[in-house]
Structure 1
């Protein structure tokens, strides 16, 4: 369910008014969880999306990621946009990106907070040219995502959230809109959003145990956003994912609660950064 945005909604448009000194001051004093920081993060994700789109428009006919392919070049371009911006903004906060060097767990165990980045989530969606790929950027603090942006550049739609700041969506030519979700009623038929590209027997076995009203296929971290805005009730995932795949969308989902944060089964900064099976939304 969505409601009209307020003047205080952090948006990409308001991000343009944030000056470098203001942003850096916030980073240095630790006040990163703010409307201003969230607006800045939205702008970074949008810039990354703008770097991806010229490669998306090249129809190379490729169906796999390979060196020199438009997909690889898009991934690398977005990675550099995001990582360079985050390091300039928050030089003391480590950055973990799917496309960068991953520090060992022995190094990460002392981190209280760090950025988690997937510059281009949904490689199959990019290759199949269905628009369901995203830019994911999240700040993890004390084991939970406290800022998160999911930007889908092909449809120019952006979901974002911050701890105690709510969850929002911004569509083209529209003001930011607050999104809400609630747990499904016990025994109610579920609208299930599922991976478009990763079907599994385990998922089918789980679906056989719950009442299902409808199944909605989607790609990338958009599945979290569909639950957050109430389009779907649950997102079950049975199969390997990494923390950078889920952190930004998980933040949007958590902050979509009406009376407080939604409960999430996901945890962060695990030794191998790999997630187990999960169901989001119950």
Structure 2
């Protein structure tokens, strides 16, 4: 069993270092973003630079992946899964979650670092550079937010008396008619638009929102979108499951997180999951 507290200390340092690199691109110190497209999603020089930095630092501190750890990042997952198809300990890394928001200068982008044992996260860091905040958690150890001056605060999700008072945090760009129908028919109608899954979950653990829903269409969110934010949310007292209540599984050989996923403060989680399934079944009947 690796020493998770020592690994967490290393990972927090890596998260802050990665945040500095992203901010240098975001604020124009590094001039050339060199935006390219992979499967219709943008990839920038910042993604690649931070990916290289994270892998270099983690592998220097923890090993190069030939023995104890696999390293699966958004930019390198195909080769890593081929090399380490069944490694017990895997890093799941998104060097820049919210690339569109990064390019469009909304400030709502994040860095995700998760350590997964077999198929479940046990350690997570989400850095939000423009907020100067770093969120972290270990399994069973609670969730915390750290500021740049290293002030640390425990995190706890909100508590609301009525389901109608819950606020959904929603995407600006990843939306389709099926998701819109679902959102329009939920019992809670307050909405807050935020980019990046990491930033969405940070609004829930900071009690600025209560629910996030992900619904796959032709494509689906990936392991690196969800693994780190999930652990931070659940360790702050929230829940993050499929609509049918199943836990999310990572490093399974399929990087896609298909279906309906619900992240919440936990208070009305099962009710909202059932409502989500009912509304989507209604949509399918209407469209068939």
Note if contact 2:97-2:112 (Cα within 8 Å) is conserved in structure 1: yes
Distance 1:156 1:204 in 2: 32
Matched, 1:204 2:180: yes
Note if contact 1:250-1:264 (Cα within 8 Å) is conserved in structure 2: no
Match of 1:141 among 89, 97, 117: 117
Q: CA deviation at 1:166?
A: 0.7
Please report the TM-score for the alignment, with normalisation by the length of structure 2: 0.77
Distance 1:93 1:191 in 2: 38
Q: CA deviation at 1:270?
A: 2.6
Q: CA deviation at 1:109?
A: 4.4
Unaligned runs of 5+ in 2: 243-247, 270-288
Distance 2:71 2:204 in 1: 27
* Structure 1 range deviating more: 225-234 or 70-79: 70-79
Match of 1:74 among 32, 46, 50: 46
Distance 2:78 2:239 in 1: 29
Q: CA deviation at 1:178?
A: 0.5
Two-structure CA RMSD over aligned residues (Å):
2.8
Distance 2:209 2:50 in 1: 29
Q: CA deviation at 1:101?
A: 4.4
Note if contact 2:212-2:263 (Cα within 8 Å) is conserved in structure 1: yes
Q: CA deviation at 1:212?
A: 2.0
Note if contact 1:254-1:264 (Cα within 8 Å) is conserved in structure 2: no
The 5 Å alignment of 1:122-133 reads: 122-133=98-109
Q: CA deviation at 1:279?
A: 1.3
Flag the 1:154–1:162 CA change in 2: closer, same or farther, 3 A: same
Matched, 1:253 2:230: no
Matched, 1:223 2:205: no
Distance 2:81 2:162 in 1: 39
Match of 2:145 among 158, 165, 169: 169
How many residues end up aligned between the 2 structures?
247
Q: CA deviation at 1:246?
A: 1.3
Partner of 1:5: none
Q: CA deviation at 1:71?
A: 6.3
CA deviation profile, 1:148-196 (whole Å, cap 9, x unmatched)? 1111112211111111111111234472110112676674432000112
* Structure 1 range deviating more: 41-50 or 106-115: 106-115
Q: CA deviation at 1:33?
A: 2.3
Partner of 2:276: none
CA deviation profile, 1:54-87 (whole Å, cap 9, x unmatched)? 21122999999328xx962211111111001111
CA deviation profile, 1:108-127 (whole Å, cap 9, x unmatched)? 54221200001011111111
Structure (1 or 2) with the greater helix fraction: 2
Partner of 1:268: 250
Question: Taking CA–CA contacts closer than 8 Å with sequence separation of 6 or more, which of the two structures ends up with the larger relative contact order?
Answer: 1
Unaligned runs of 5+ in 1: 1-29
Partner of 1:32: 3
The 5 Å alignment of 1:46-57 reads: 46-57=16-27
Flag the 1:58–1:106 CA change in 2: closer, same or farther, 3 A: closer
Flag the 1:143–1:222 CA change in 2: closer, same or farther, 3 A: same
Q: CA deviation at 1:132?
A: 0.5
Matched, 1:278 2:261: yes
Match of 2:133 among 157, 174, 180: 157
Note if contact 2:126-2:229 (Cα within 8 Å) is conserved in structure 1: yes
